[in-house]
Amino acid sequence: MRTTRINVFMIGVEHMVRLQNEHGSITISRAVFTNLTGDVVTNCFGVKGMTIRSVSDGLVHLLKSEFMGKGVHIEMNPDNTISIELHIAVNQGVNIPVVCESIKDEVQYKISKGTGVEIKRIDIFVDSMILG
């Protein structure tokens, strides 16, 4: 049985997660979690895309796929887990609580399976509903 140790640390200003076992170590940057999470979320049923609120005009903007990471905020916790904050737009007519529960399940499963890191919390902010 392999034992994997998980450590959160910083290189410069970038938080990283290091997974270590008897075979060596793997270091995963916050950007990996951000991009992987954004991809998982935008492929969930009912999600139109990731959003961001403009500082200048206060309006919510739907992000293009290459910028979807701006709608994902990853926090590295001292207990070697991560917390995720998502800002999304949904399609008109969807059941928002059901869509959000589905997103949480998918993100929890795919991030944990893909990285081996435990997710402590997922907060979802539905910033907009897209009509049509």
pLDDT number for residue 78: 84
pLDDT number for residue 20: 79
- Distance (Å, whole) CA 79 – CA 93: 39
User: Residue ranges per domain, the chain?
Assistant: 31-130
The neighbour count for residue 36, using CB atoms within 10 Å, is 19
Helix axes 30-42, 96-115, angle to 10 degrees: 140
pLDDT number for residue 38: 95
pLDDT number for residue 5: 63
The neighbour count for residue 27, using CB atoms within 10 Å, is 13
pLDDT number for residue 13: 44
pLDDT number for residue 29: 86
- Average pLDDT, consecutive stretches of 10 residues, N- to C-terminus, the chain (132 residues): 57 66 85 93 96 88 88 90 96 97 98 92 96 80
pTM: 0.84
The domain at 31-130 falls in which architecture? 2-Layer Sandwich (3.30)
